[in-house]
Amino acid sequence: EAGVAQSPRYKIIEKRQSVAFWCNPISGHATLYWYQQILGQGPKLLIQFQNNGVVDDSQLPKDRFSAERLKGVDSTLKIQPAKLEDSAVYLCASSLVTHRGRIGELFFGEGSRLTVL
Amino acid sequence: QKEVEQNSGPLSVPEGAIASLNCTYSDRGSQSFFWYRQYSGKSPELIMSIYSNGDKEDGRFTAQLNKASQYVSLLIRDSQPSDSATYLCAVRDNYGQNFVFGPGTRLSVLP
């Protein structure tokens, strides 16, 4: 079974530029998450999708971050304009929804490491 | 604000010893608890999940949960240098259905 795919693995940009990250979850996983992990910290949730709907985006800095999952499969996270403090690893994760409507375990992609100069 | 706390470490143990990692959480409504291992430069991988009070064993790993004390721990028996990594505690509640992660504890197993 293929895992969560993310690209690009690495990206270096200057502040005020824009960047986009792509994620393809495990086949059949209805729930998709984007996490931001700053060096030395735990992952912090940015946005959670279930199918193509947003479940939680309360911690997404909406003035510069946007995310979409138009067809309920793959997803794109965009940052525009980037700031120095956006330097982090952006982790995509997916999980199944059980027959009882509960979220299963999280499976992570390899992450996209962003450096903002 | 739901919080998950862990000692950041580093926790150093000699090879063959028991490593004990601890986690506390603030949300009493939390129902599901997970331990993830993250090697440097890699993504987190699930090693244990626990849902009921008590102990759950899987090989060299034992997860312990005490909901009354809002405390979950991970014991690693016969620690190996390959266990050296950051261990993330994650908590999920039944309502929000999202996962809150602690800052992680860095474990170093010395040969």
**Over residues A12-21, mean pLDDT:** 97
Q: Predicted confidence band at A101 (pLDDT cuts at 50, 70, 90)?
A: low
- A contacts of B100 (beta carbons < 8 Å): 45
Report the pLDDT value the prediction gives residue B97, as an integer from 0 to 100.
Answer: 73
Q: How far is B103 from chain A (nearest CA, A)?
A: 4
Report the pLDDT value the prediction gives residue A97, as an integer from 0 to 100.
Answer: 78
Least CB–CB distance from A109: residue in B43, B46, B96 = B43
Tell whether the model's pLDDT for residue B95 goes beyond 80.
no
Cα dihedral sign, B37-A108-A78-A55: negative
| Phi, psi (degrees; rounded to nearest 5) at A10 | -135, 145
Q: Could you tell me if A109 lies within 8 Å of chain B, comparing CB atoms?
A: yes
SS3 assignment, position A103: strand
Single-letter code of the amino acid located at A53: G
SS3 assignment, position A86: helix
Report the pLDDT value the prediction gives residue B96, as an integer from 0 to 100.
Answer: 55
| Concatenated DSSP letters of B5-36 | EE----EEEETTSPEEEEEEES-TTEEEEEEE
Report the pLDDT value the prediction gives residue A12, as an integer from 0 to 100.
Answer: 98
**Over residues B81-92, mean pLDDT:** 96
Q: Predicted confidence band at A99 (pLDDT cuts at 50, 70, 90)?
A: low
Instruction: Read off the tokens for A31.
Output: 């729930």
Instruction: Read off the tokens for A64.
Output: 């510069």
Single-letter code of the amino acid located at B64: Q
Place of tokens 């926790």: B11
Burial A80-97 (b: 16+ CB within 10 A, else e): eebeeebbbbbbbbbbeb
Average pLDDT, chain A: 93
Least CB–CB distance from A106: residue in B4, B46, B94 = B46
Q: Report the alpha-carbon distance of residue A35 to residue A25 in Å, rounded.
A: 14
| Concatenated DSSP letters of B68-110 | TTTEEEEEESS--GGG-EEEEEEEEETTT--EEE---EEEEEE
Q: Could you tell me if A91 lies within 8 Å of chain B, comparing CB atoms?
A: yes
Q: How far is A64 from chain B (nearest CA, A)?
A: 22
- A contacts of B94 (beta carbons < 8 Å): 102
Give A100 or B30, the one with higher predicted confidence. Answer: B30
Q: Could you tell me if A107 lies within 8 Å of chain B, comparing CB atoms?
A: yes
| A31-88: pLDDT as tens digits | 999 999 999 899 999 999 998 899 999 999 999 999 999 888 999 999 999 999 999 9
